[in-house]
Copies of this chain bind each other. A is one copy, B any other.
C-alpha cells in the first residue's frame, strides 16, 4: 500500500458534534487517518452539544501539503475558523490542487472566505445559502453535492451520503 491515507479536519469550539465525529470514525473504518487541526495542538474543544474532541496538530505547524484531503465540520466552528489566515491558506491550497474538500452545514463560510466558490455547485444548511450564492456558487438543495473536488452536505442526517461520497472521491484520487 503506497497510498497516503491522511485527511486533515479543522476543529474549533462549538463544532457540530456528529459532523465532526461521524466522518472521522467512518474514514477510520476505510483505513484513513484523520488529524484534527486547531489553532493549537492538544486542546480539547467541545461540540455544540458537548461531545469533546482534541486537536492533534496546530494548523500553523502541520505539513498540510502532505494530506490527501480536507474536512470542515459545521456547527458554529466555521464562524471562528474563517477568521484565521492560515485556515484560508490551507483551504485555498486544497482547492487549487484539486484535493477533495468535504464541507457540511455552516462549513461553507470557510470556503466563501477563502474565495474558492466562484462557479462551483454546492449545498449547505439553507441558513447560509445566500452567503454561498454571493460568493459565486450555484446553491442546490440536495443531501449531497459533488462538483469536482468539492463534496457538500446540508445537515447531520445527510452524513451517510455526504461521507460516502467524500470517501469514494478520496479512493478514486489516491
Residues of A with Cβ closer than 8 Å to B? 17-18, 21-22, 25-26, 28-29, 47, 49-52, 156, 159-161, 163-164
Contacts and interface: CB of A to CB of B under 8 A. Distances in A.
Contacts of A164: 29
A52 B49 CA distance: 9
Contacts of A51: 17-18, 49, 51
B29 A25 contact: no
Nearest to A17: B51
12 contacts: A17-B17, A17-B49, A17-B51, A18-B51, A22-B25, A25-B159, A25-B160, A26-B29, A29-B160, A29-B161, A29-B163, A49-B49
A63 to B, nearest CB: 25
Contacts of A22: 21-22, 25-26
A49 B25 CA distance: 18
Nearest to A158: B25
